[in-house]
């Protein structure tokens, strides 16, 4: 079977999974669907009519896949399908506590008792898609606003920090003063960007100035997409997905670096391990 190269092909396979999931589905399709959800290791979260759902990568990766024939595909290989999905989504799957909670709730919803870990005993991993980010950030916002142990002012600052505003932005402006990579001093356009994404942070991390970089919009977009990252010593890391022409157009080059302190290291380590797309595979 051919390997997916476009998002539309992934969407067709998700529709096949939804068919197997439906209440009216029975027999081989429904049985194979539940087995895939139970045993999967890497999942793509998506929004269905019933909320967030999860699609296993080994099923999504083959063009026009069918639940009734998937188990008999002798060439099934998660490494190949994961590489294909990495290219389509522009990111790599990683362990995520919020998505793991969502996955377990989804399993209960579809009547599946999930394995304690994915196939081969490894931790389950997830691609963080744009639509899943919205849901995860809404979950985190609800958790903050409903916490009786946080004052109204603290809640406001934590929520504002999600979009790089409020106290977090003020601290970032005071600490950096200008774009820490390009040197742009036009503060009105600069963005206070979390190194470890806001949705994955504890409340203290959400307001930690060392979890922030002050970046010009083009650099912020590259960093947010994991197309660039930084060594603990400040040297820039550039994804192989970025061409020299794109780098030049965006005002970046491989000789750039930022001035960091040891306190930045744990956040940059997280970004490199979970956000940075080091290779095009």
Specify whether 122 is located in the same domain as 177. Answer: no
Packing angle, helices 130-145 and 152-161, rounded to 10: 170
Q: Is 257 helix (H, G, I), strand (E, B) or coil?
A: strand
Please tell me the total count of domains within the chain: 2
Using the 3D structure, point to which of 98, 131, 164 is the last residue of a domain.
131
What's the pLDDT tens digit per position in 201-247? Answer: 999 999 999 999 999 999 999 999 889 999 999 999 999 888 889 98
Specify whether 26 is located in the same domain as 65. Answer: yes
CA atoms within 13 A on the CB side of 35: 12
Specify whether 168 is located in the same domain as 113. Answer: no
Using the 3D structure, point to which of 102, 131, 160 is the last residue of a domain.
131
Residue 279 included in any domain: no
**Average pLDDT along the chain:** 90
Structural domain for 57, as ranges: 7-131
Specify whether 188 is located in the same domain as 117. Answer: no
What's the pLDDT tens digit per position in 36-66? Answer: 999 889 999 999 888 899 999 999 999 999 9
Residue 2 included in any domain: no
Residue 136 included in any domain: no
Residue 221 included in any domain: yes
Residue 139 included in any domain: no
């Amino acid at each position: 079977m051919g390997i997916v190269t476009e998002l539309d092909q992934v969407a067709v396979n998700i529709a096949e999974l939804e068919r197997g999931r439906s209440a009216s589905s029975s027999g081989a399709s429904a049985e194979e669907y539940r087995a895939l959800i139970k045993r999967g290791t890497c999942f793509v979260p998506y929004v269905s009519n019933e909320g967030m759902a999860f699609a296993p990568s080994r099923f999504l990766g083959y063009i026009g896949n069918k639940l009734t024939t998937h188990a008999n595909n002798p060439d099934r290989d998660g490494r190949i399908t994961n590489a294909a999905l990495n290219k389509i989504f522009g990111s790599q799957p990683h362990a995520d506590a919020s998505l793991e909670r969502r996955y377990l709730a989804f399993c209960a919803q579809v009547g599946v008792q999930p394995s304690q870990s994915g196939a081969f005993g490894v931790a389950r991993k997830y691609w963080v898609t744009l639509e899943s980010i919205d849901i995860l950030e809404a979950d985190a916002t609800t958790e903050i606003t409903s916490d009786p142990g946080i004052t109204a002012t603290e809640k406001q600052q934590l929520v504002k920090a999600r979009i790089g505003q409020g106290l977090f932005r003020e601290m970032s402006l005071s600490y950096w003063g200008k774009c820490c990579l390009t040197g742009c001093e036009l503060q009105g356009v600069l963005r206070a960007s979390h190194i470890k994404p806001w949705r994955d942070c504890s409340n203290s991390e959400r307001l930690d100035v060392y979890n922030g970089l002050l970046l010009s919009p083009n650099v912020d977009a590259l960093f947010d997409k994991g197309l660039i990252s930084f060594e603990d010593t400040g040297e820039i890391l550039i994804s192989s997905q970025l061409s020299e022409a794109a780098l030049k157009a965006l005002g970046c080059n491989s000789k750039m670096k930022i001035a960091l302190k040891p306190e930045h290291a744990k956040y940059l380590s997280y970004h490199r391990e979970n956000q940075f797309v080091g290779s095009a595979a």
